[in-house]
């Protein structure tokens, strides 16, 4: 009886894990991260540069580089980069300036 219950629990967990790792689930997750990062950005005309960078569960975050232009008048529409870190546990995006990712002229 214990074996049947244990096998049933393992099967249920495997089904959930398989579903969570499906291509459609990853696509939805990446879209959610991208939308949250773009919304948190202070840049205008902001777009992701490349794709999300997934860290394992020891560091439960996903990173995304964003590029756009500074909206402040004194910045004169200068290009800018930001690094967005999506906290998977809190489901929140945090953005920091990352202009050092731009090549120097």
Per residue in 5-46, pLDDT tens?
Answer: 434 433 444 344 445 689 999 999 999 999 999 999 999 999
Please provide the DSSP assignment of 7-41 as one string.
HHHHHHHHHHHHHHTSHHHHHHHHHHHHHHHHHH-
pLDDT exceeds 60 at position 1: no
Ranges of each domain in the chain:
2-101
Question: Is the whole-model pTM more than 0.85?
Answer: no
Burial of 66 (0-12, 13-18, 19+ CB in 10 A): buried
Mean pLDDT of the chain: 85
17-21, 34-38, 76-80, 87-91: least confidently modelled range: 17-21
The residue among 71 and 102 whose pLDDT is bigger is: 71
């Amino acid at each position: 009886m214990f074996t049947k219950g244990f096998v049933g629990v393992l099967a249920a967990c495997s089904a959930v894990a398989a579903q969570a790792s499906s291509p459609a689930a990853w696509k939805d997750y990446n879209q959610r991260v991208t939308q949250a990062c773009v919304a948190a950005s202070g840049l205008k005309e902001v777009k992701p540069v490349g794709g999300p960078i997934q860290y394992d569960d020891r560091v439960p975050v996903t990173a995304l580089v964003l590029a756009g232009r500074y909206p402040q008048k004194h910045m004169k529409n200068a290009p800018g980069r930001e690094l967005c870190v999506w906290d998977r546990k809190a489901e929140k995006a945090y953005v920091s300036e990352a202009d050092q990712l731009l090549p120097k002229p």
